[in-house]
Amino acid sequence: MQKIRFKIISLTLTLVFATIVSSMAQRNIEPTLLFSDSVNYHFSGEWQYLSTDIYLLNAEKFTTLINELDFVRAQNDRSGWFAKRSKLSEEYLEYLFITAKLKNVRFFGDNDITYPLYNFQISKDEEEKYRTFVSDNIESIRIIDNLPLYSASDFIDAEINVRAITNNDRDQILGLVASQLQNLSKMQTPTSAMLGIIGEFGNFIETNTKKKEYRFSSTIRLFEQKNFDTRLHSIRIYGLLTANSQPIELSTEPISALLNNNDNAKLTKPYLSELIGFTGYPLIVVANYKSLYRMEQVTGDEINFASIEQRKLKIENDYKTGLINAETYRQEKDFIGFITIFANLKNHLEVYSLNYKTGNTDAISGSLFKLAQYYRQLIKAHDEIRFKHRNNSTYQNVFRSEYESILGYASLYLNDDHNLKRLQKLVSTLITLDQKAVIENPNELEQHIEALRFAYVFKPIHTDQTLLGHLIKMHTLNLEQQLFATIFEEEIDKLNRTKATEKTKQAPEILRQMIRNTSCDLCRAKALD
């Protein structure tokens, strides 16, 4: 008799345990991947940030879905002594809990990030059927915004988990929150994004306590700049189903056409609903975006040594915290060196302006020479960087226009008066001659010599002891020798062969006219010998 009683107790415990395990499995809603594809667009290296939006479609169908659960069907069929005696008969569905696990994000360390997306209340209607209360105004959730690409893979793999939570399972929610907070606590250098997630868990616990609808609202934003160019990268569509759900037949042609079209259409919940055209069960759409890095733009008026120092600190901090990659860091360092030259140019422009107002001739000469040095250095630096990065897409697509903008400001500042205009022409001529030493056209030779003659305003102390002074003298001598050999030498020889008579007394007039109209000192001196 005792053996029989023991067997009955053992069988009862086994049934209870099996029922508990079965009940847990019966409440699972399985996200099924229905579609996954990327856009037909080549993303070059400077598209280095990821964003992810999550859309919940057909949320009103959660009521249908919940009543298909084995747990609900078993509960409706339960009767008899076991139903009266079992604690499971007192168990009922209370929440529909949806989470997302970001499996390939490493910005927060080696642990996967799991956090709640939605938590909807479940209740029973007059017919004792379950129903959910879901707001209709949920457009989308941006779970991350411009996450550095090298902290994730090519797209965000959001593993969606949907559970129907009963009144006996509330500890599961607190367990999730506790484990995620423990993971975050292991980070040694908390960021604003981490603090945002911690605050979001607080919001979730508060709404859960008050039995209110919850949805994720604290976007993980790591990069605060607003001037990003963003393009759609990929779309994944998940169907939320139970073991008893009907198979989903989804027409993917419209959504595939969108991805192949390359027009970077803006996604909205109504637009996606229309494209997908399925209303039978809830769907979750994960839309991934890539963003193009845009450097912080500056105008010439904003550049000074203080702003450059601030930019240096920001770039160093962004690089150390992983917000920009190594290539962007190198490009930014080059640009900082470039605008430092520009800042020196601006500084000496102010010195020149002050000297010009006071009428100090020696000081004006010195400041003009400094301006010539820095303006030439600015142009040469631009040429070197342009050559260095000629095949670099980050430079071509992001930085090149900013260099050209700064050069434009420099040219604008040097148009302020006649001295500065001639100085700009002198430097431009030197740059041209560095690239093309031999000039065949006599008019071009004359123009270049005239431009270099502005160097007369410089004091010998500057021109005799500097590279710039040496270049001016060297190019001037070379141009004058070319001009003399091209037109003056022939005219001088012709005049020397001409006999002095009454008829040829006007023969020297051509040479005199040439002397009067030239800036060539060498030509003038040899013609007068």
* 280/161 same-domain check: yes
* 60/202 same-domain check: yes
Q: Which of 239, 267, 292 is a domain's end point?
A: 292
Q: Which of 259, 292, 325 is a domain's end point?
A: 292
**What's the CA gap between 371 and 347, in Å, rounded?**
9
Residue 485 has pLDDT above 70, yes or no: yes
Predicted confidence (pLDDT) per residue in 318-346, tens digit: 888 778 888 899 999 999 999 999 999 99
**What's the CA gap between 204 and 226, in Å, rounded?**
28
Q: What angle do CA 476, 481, 483 make, to 5 degrees?
A: 95
- Please state, in angstroms and as integers, the Cα–Cα distance from residue 28 to each residue in 93, 96, 507, following that order: 12, 10, 110
| Best-predicted range by mean pLDDT (10-19, 95-104, 485-494) | 485-494
C-beta of residue 27 within 8 angstroms of C-beta of residue 71? yes
* 318/259 same-domain check: no
* 319/422 same-domain check: yes
* 146/192 same-domain check: yes
Predicted confidence (pLDDT) per residue in 106-133, tens digit: 555 566 677 778 878 787 877 778 788 7
* 106/207 same-domain check: yes
Closest CA to 113 of 30, 200, 48, 37: 200
* CA 251, chain centre distance (Å): 34
* 322/213 same-domain check: no
* 168/305 same-domain check: no
Q: Which of 292, 315, 332 is a domain's end point?
A: 292
Residue predicted with more confidence, 390 or 142: 390
What's the average model confidence in pLDDT over 4-14? 40
Residue 388 lies in domain: 300-528
Residue 90 has pLDDT above 70, yes or no: no
Strand-strand pairing, 229-241 and 141-148? unpaired
* 267/357 same-domain check: no
Radius of gyration of the chain (CA): 39
pTM here? 0.73
Residue 3 has pLDDT above 50, yes or no: no
Residue 451 has pLDDT above 60, yes or no: yes
* 48/185 same-domain check: yes
* 18/60 same-domain check: yes
30-34, 322-326, 354-358, 381-385, range with the lowest pLDDT? 322-326
* Count of the separate structural domains present in the chain: 2
3-state DSSP call for residue 36? Answer: strand
* 265/360 same-domain check: no
Predicted confidence (pLDDT) per residue in 173-195, tens digit: 777 777 767 766 766 555 666 66
